[in-house]
Chains A and B, each alone.
Chain A
């Protein structure tokens, strides 16, 4: 069955809702330097101010403007999510396709590594590595990518293997097509659904991990992060900061991840033709 993904996606209400949410949040995040009313590292103001026209969400314990901080933190989240997703998907794609095409021992080794990585709780590994090295954000992005590519490689490999046996690919090979041609024209386009799905899923994991790990205090505390905001806001809950400090951070994080969850569900519904159609079983 030929699927026109964009037309199908446009018809999917859940997917469109998710995408609109995500685009709104990420545009805000990207534009943070331009639209943030204050410098989020400027602590010249009075601390614990309530919401006002000047400080939309008030100020925090050391006088940062919470709204500006929130925008910058969202920026970190989106950056982290997108870059981890891109790297993990690329690794997964390359290893999955090559394992399926090369086969033999190479395939076996890659797949066993995939299985082993599935059994190891990635968050603990990340915490341990972070504790050893106190790495920069960029290193954490790469480390996280290195331990969560496995599901993508597995899916890509299975799909490539099944594609390999398809007649149109055999036919192209019989016509004398090179491996590069077959990859470009026949295999990679077919892998798009997996890639799209993997990207969203991994972005979601990464956004969550970034917030979670900074909440636990693993990140450099001077970076702006939703997790760090939550963790500090929780320390001052007795000061009634929950509505202007904690809740915005919690909601932003939730909305970002909800938007990704909606998109990923929509992608699954669109690309799995088996999930199409109604329950064609008899009415009892």
Chain B
């Protein structure tokens, strides 16, 4: 077991009172085996770098550490600084992010690379010889090794740092943001080197905020949030099948080449590190928190994917599952044996042409029509067992045509108030609520505007009113049924962005019914393609766009592409 963290806690003492501390790492236990690369991902401030520094006992003086870091079976917390000095760079070395003067600006790079060898007692000539070979291996051109750090490019400096870390051939390697400041080509080359070193038997701890790099290089990925491990999972599942809502939010925020969906960001702000909340640390930002999340912190649960997730709900929970459902209108079978799942906080696009059954499926899920066969389960409860009116409060719907969906007799105020009135929830606080809803959809809140009638509003404004109406009861699921297809492109873009922002801020689930796979690609996490009443394909959006499996999907995508060409 080369590198192991056991119940590691790190706090930083702030100036002033003795007990004025912030928690950087909370009870971290982690093992890295020989020939294994584990990556740590998380937002800035999650404690990634603290972990890197702790691994080599390099924490600053104001850090208080409990628990232990075990290197090759030796608990380093018991070592004297002299003993630790001998371990550093011989058994474990670190590659820092190329930021500022991480290399000494006044010494030639080759001397800095050779320094650890010379410290180990090798002769200067052998050391320089080995260093020049190592720099060569890291593709630093001969001759450039005699330069000073500032004369190299950022990519070269990062490779010099790598060469320096490998020079003593230690069994363990800590990489702290090794690719944060390098170009794509150097990044790929570093990935190759890292993989090669892992295959040679090194244990590698890779700290990065670059999720695709983590997926590329590492075997396992550990997700750190505010000093706590929230999830660990095989790296190949990181981008496609994250289990924790936080991991999914990270993935959504991360620009991956193939993904076209707008970046979302993680809703809310990271917790203050000075106080620890009672329940789950992620609860305030979570899209699926339940009562227990407020009361105690969750335990780690194994997932069927071979990972571990720290969540009361066992990771991202399923909100609705549709099982073998079928529906016919008279003798026309609209849906045939359809099964589908919608996760909490997920955005699902139902794509298909007119008559494919996508709208029927959406309204079945909304509970407004009943299936002929099969089951719909909402939060582990059959839909048929839930009171119709209660369930309607949990689902907001935005329709294709706002002119039709809003009564022309209603003023803006009345239109938005309608759901409240319907559910007997209209009281003296409602006016404020309605104003807030109008603000959320970026409409004016003055009395003059609220007294306007639909015919006085543009299509875009009216659709915003419809959205405000759909959200006034704070639903858990929002269904947008071709909600933007009547609008002209610039208004469509604005409404789409508004919907995405609202989804992200409220953390609700969303079903996007559309015939336009181009729109689906921009908004959804997952796309289900319906054709002739069946789901022919159901995958993460970028998979569908990049690599459509079904003939019909290919045709849909080609149609979008060719229509774009003909536009030109």
Contact = CB atoms under 8 A, between A and B. Distances in A.
Interface in A177-230: none
A277 B62 CA distance: 10
Interface in B78-136: 81, 85
B85 A284 contact: yes
Contact of A284 (B15, B53, B62, B81): B81
A131 to B, nearest CB: 46
B59 interface: yes
Contacts of A280: 60-62
A284 B15 CA distance: 22
A281 B60 CA distance: 5
A278 B81 contact: no
A278 B59 contact: no
A162 interface: no
Contact of B57 (A279, A281, A282): A282
Given A283-B81, A284-B85, A277 B15 contact: yes
A281 B15 CA distance: 15
Contacts of B59: 282
A180 to B, nearest CB: 38
Contact of A279 (B15, B58, B61, B85): B61
Specify the main secondary structure of chain A where it touches its partner: loop
B20 to A, nearest CB: 14
B14 to A, nearest CB: 10
Contacts of A279: 61
A281 B85 contact: no
Contact of A283 (B15, B53, B61): B61
Nearest to A277: B15
Contact of B58 (A277, A278, A282): A282
Interface string A265-284: 00000000000011111111
Nearest to B88: A284
Most chain-B CB neighbours within 10 Å: which of A278, A279, A282, A283? A282
A282 B60 contact: yes
Contacts of A278: 61-62
Contacts of A283: 61, 81
A279 B62 CA distance: 9
Contacts of A277: 15
B116 to A, nearest CB: 16
Contacts, number: 19
A284 B86 CA distance: 12
Contacts of B81: 283-284
Nearest to B56: A282
Nearest to B60: A280
Contacts of B85: 284
Nearest to A276: B15
Interface string B32-57: 00000000000000000000010001
A226 to B, nearest CB: 42
Nearest to B12: A280
Contacts of B61: 278-283
Contacts of B62: 278, 280
B15 to A, nearest CB: 7
Nearest to A281: B60
Interface in B321-344: none
Contacts of A284: 81, 85
A155 to B, nearest CB: 24
B209 to A, nearest CB: 23
Contacts of B15: 277
B266 to A, nearest CB: 26
B301 to A, nearest CB: 36
A280 B53 CA distance: 13
A10 to B, nearest CB: 16
Interface in A241-284: 277-284
A282 B15 CA distance: 17
Interface in A35-51: none
A277 B57 CA distance: 21
B229 to A, nearest CB: 24
A82 B57 CA distance: 52
A280 to B, nearest CB: 4
A284 B85 CA distance: 8
A281 B81 CA distance: 14
A281 B63 CA distance: 10
A281 to B, nearest CB: 6
A278 B16 CA distance: 12
A259 B203 CA distance: 59
B182 to A, nearest CB: 26
A279 B61 CA distance: 7
A255 to B, nearest CB: 33
A283 B61 CA distance: 6
Contacts of B53: 282
A248 B59 CA distance: 53
Nearest to A282: B58
B198 to A, nearest CB: 27
Interface of A: 277-284
19 contacts: A277-B15, A278-B61, A278-B62, A279-B61, A280-B60, A280-B61, A280-B62, A281-B60, A281-B61, A282-B53, A282-B57, A282-B58, A282-B59, A282-B60, A282-B61, A283-B61, A283-B81, A284-B81, A284-B85
Given A278-B62, A280-B62, 7 more contacts: A277-B15, A278-B61, A279-B61, A281-B61, A282-B60, A283-B81, A284-B81
Closest 5 CB pairs of A and B: A280-B60, A282-B58, A284-B81, A283-B61, A282-B60
